[in-house]
Amino acid sequence: MIETNLTTTALKTEPNIGNRILAGIVDYLIIYTFFFIYLYAFGEPNDEGGYHISGLLGLAPILFWGLMTVGVEQWFGATLGNSLVGLKPMSIRKSNDNSTFSGTDEKLSFGQSFKRHLLDPIDMFFFGLIGIITIKNTEKNQRLGDIWGNTIVVKTSELKKAE
């Protein structure tokens, strides 16, 4: 695999709040739609008028979430929502003195992708307020999942300019 190093002088991170919100809505609309269809198709009615799934059937929504977030990001370099709005997550590496960073145009590791999406519920809490606050107040416009996964999110158009 050819690896392209992109430095901060050539690659500028921006908050892209609107695009990131839209990407999250697309991704989680697909996930929640699957969940509700699956719940009504395979769930059993309970005493409170709802449905529940138990046993091994309960793993399917979790596996689907992993497939739609981590899996798609591993195979295609970005989730469906990020691809539609022109965003791409990238791995970052800090210099020895922590004064600069470089992004690499390689696919994220499984661990990085998993960390990014494991914190989605926190970043999306209260209509995304936590994610928006952290994106606006971090040097590289990262949400909590990006900080933990050591990633940044950039516009794909910026990648083409930096090459």
Predicted confidence pLDDT, tens digits, the chain (163 residues): 434 444 444 456 788 999 999 999 999 999 999 999 999 999 999 999 899 999 999 999 999 999 999 999 999 999 999 999 999 999 987 655 554 455 565 679 999 999 999 999 999 989 889 999 999 999 999 999 999 999 999 998 877 665 5
Strands of 4-161, DSSP E? 5-7, 44-45, 51-52, 87-94, 101-104, 151-155
Q: What is the pLDDT of residue 7?
A: 43
Q: What is the pLDDT of residue 158?
A: 77
CA distances from 1 to 4, 136, 137 (A): 10, 33, 34
CA 23/CA 14 separation, integer angstroms: 15
Looking at the DSSP assignment, which residues form a beta bridge with residue 103? Answer: 6, 92
